[in-house]
Homo-oligomer: A and B are copies of this chain.
């Protein structure tokens, strides 16, 4: 069933039927009703490709998710982020098209998407400090929202980010106040912008209490359980083992916990952990009493907000790119306690 058939069946022109269905004012309300009824009965739906060709829009948002070639790893937060964004798109009648790409030729894919004009806008995931995708998309003239920030970007761009610096300042501060002085940082990969900001927060909090940041206490790597386990194990086998850990994700924290348990150390008594918590649906930090002391910020909510921001930009083309900084909430759980006295 296409427009032509429908209009013939209704004894109307395609113009009128199209206008009736798309809510244009210049059509009699009675005819509109009649058209809508027939469309529903005959199960008519416009062909999106024809529509897109005529309007020049694709009604689709692009997400390209990079796979770290080294670890063959897809970031576990994507699921939740995309769930949030997708929900927003669906309400507005937009599709979500994903490209999975090894992180090396990510830029090529962006270029390709731009050439084909196959989406109306894009979300940029996992920005590096000096991310080439930002000038690229600006040059290509595709509306985009960055999930995160790129500190070294030359010109303004739209972003939704968590206040990572403040979060890690708060997390570290929490441990300092509990008397910890040897506090390790298990950060994300150094190339990531958020890792940079988190480290700044960590260093700022230490500095405020006159603690000299120790490079041997600062680690960064892909945020896997393995990374948490191995790093903690290595730290605990050295002298001057840390009594506190500030960790970049729940999954890494679980790895640290495993290392503690291997040595029969108790979390929250012998060793304290504060972690960042993306509030993933399948890995909630406890319902009533939190497992970990954590700085929480829902990545799913970030997805909803980023999606909404992008759709707004597409609709209204604002002169200045909007930005949104989300604060985290410090949740006190069982994984942190006073520094052991010894």
Contacts and interface: CB of A to CB of B under 8 A. Distances in A.
A132 interface: no
A90 B97 contact: no
A97 B100 contact: no
A251 B98 contact: no
A275 interface: no
Given A90-B101, A100-B82, A287-B226, A45 B282 contact: no
Identical copies of this chain, number? 2
A98 B74 contact: no
Contact of A97 (B67, B97, B224): B97
A118 B281 contact: no
A204 B49 CA distance: 52
Contacts of A98: 82, 86, 95-98
A71 B287 CA distance: 12
- Indicate the member of A45, A60, A71, A117 with the most B CB atoms within 10 Å: A45
A98 B225 CA distance: 28
A118 to B, nearest CB: 5
B225 A284 contact: yes
Nearest to A118: B48
Contact of A49 (B44, B58, B90): B58
Nearest to A264: B264
B47 A117 contact: yes
A224 B282 contact: yes
Contacts of A46: 116
Interface in A211-225: 222-225
A274 interface: no
B99 A86 contact: yes
A116 B47 CA distance: 5
Contact of A95 (B49, B73, B97): B97
Contacts of A280: 76
A207 interface: no
A44 B53 CA distance: 17
A311 B112 CA distance: 22
A232 interface: no
A319 interface: no
Interface string A270-281: 000000000011
A296 to B, nearest CB: 15
Given A67-B87, A74-B80, A258-B291, 13 more contacts: A45-B112, A45-B116, A49-B50, A49-B52, A67-B83, A90-B99, A97-B97, A98-B98, A222-B282, A224-B282, A224-B284, A251-B282, A254-B254
